[in-house]
Amino acid sequence: MAKPTHVLVVEDEAALNELLKYNLEKEGYRVSVAVDGDEALVLAEETPPDLIVLDWMLPKASGVEVCRRLRARQETRNTPIVMLTARGEESDRIRGLDTGADDYITKPFSMVELLARLRAVMRRIRPGLAEDKLVAGDIVMDRVSHRVKRGARDVHLGPTEFRILEHLMQHPSRVFSREQLLDAVWGSDVYVEARTVDVHIGRLRKALMVGDEIDPIRTVRSAGYALDFETVSA
């Protein structure tokens, strides 16, 4: 059997915490529990989880703050985060925030719904991780040998373009702002001008498109970039 998926549950309500742990373990997950934001950040650093279920109303560091800090760290930069939000205004507000969460579930929710959403998030992330190969449209990236192919053709990329493409391929169709790409590719502690992202995206496009090949990178005006095959496939 494959190694069980390790879920970090961050929730301060003891009853919900126990219910989540019980149901997730029954489903075959390995579960760690944190009861506040600070503990979550410590646990995630000690043993980086495969998946994080994060309540947004937490003592100490809030769910939003925890999410941002996890995204700024190398080990948890791409870890799927499903955020639990309260019904009403609060959940609308959080959806509008740029938290970096992969999905949101509004309380109260059923365990069946939660488990289904976690499975969906893992399906999106796992196929690539399992074989260290990412596939998007006709682009295939081998993350071990650092080779990229488009169709039968080898694509030669510089290290920065490789990391940008890797990040986009891990989250197909998701739009990333220049700042998010900077954080993901250069790290949040490095000062790089946002315009630099445009330069590298330009190089990446040039390497990916030869002859009449379709441009797989969608520029979203004043928002950022996404790798998008669904909208461009002929």
Using CB under 5 A, list all residues that contact Ca ion: 12, 55, 57
* Count of residues making up the chain: 234
For the beta sheet containing 30-34, the strands, ordered from the edge strand earlier in sequence to the opposite edge, are 30-34, 6-10, 51-55, 81-85, 103-106
21 or 126, CB closer to Ca ion? Answer: 21
CA atoms within 13 A on the CB side of 161: 17
54 or 157, CB closer to Ca ion? Answer: 54
To Ca ion, the closest distance from the beta carbon of 78 in angstroms equals 25
9 or 181, CB closer to Ca ion? Answer: 9
To Ca ion, the closest distance from the beta carbon of 88 in angstroms equals 14
Q: Is the distance from CB of 53 to CB of 118 less than 8 angstroms?
A: yes
To Ca ion, the closest distance from the beta carbon of 66 in angstroms equals 12
To Ca ion, the closest distance from the beta carbon of 67 in angstroms equals 14
Q: What is the dihedral of CA 88, 91, 97, 100, to 10 degrees?
A: -170
| Residue closest to Ca ion, measured at CB | 57
Three-state DSSP class for 147?
A: strand
12 or 198, CB closer to Ca ion? Answer: 12
67 or 197, CB closer to Ca ion? Answer: 67
Give the relative orientation of helices 178-186 and 159-170 as an angle to the nearest 10 degrees. 120
To Ca ion, the closest distance from the beta carbon of 56 in angstroms equals 7
Six token digits for residue 47: 């043993």
12 or 103, CB closer to Ca ion? Answer: 12
Rounded to whole angstroms, the Cα distance separating 231 from 224 reads 16
To Ca ion, the closest distance from the beta carbon of 84 in angstroms equals 8
To Ca ion, the closest distance from the beta carbon of 37 in angstroms equals 10
64 or 184, CB closer to Ca ion? Answer: 64
Strands (E), the chain: 6-10, 30-34, 51-55, 81-85, 103-106, 133-136, 139-142, 147-150, 153-155, 217-220, 224-227
> What radius of gyration, in Å, describes the C-alpha atoms of the chain?
19
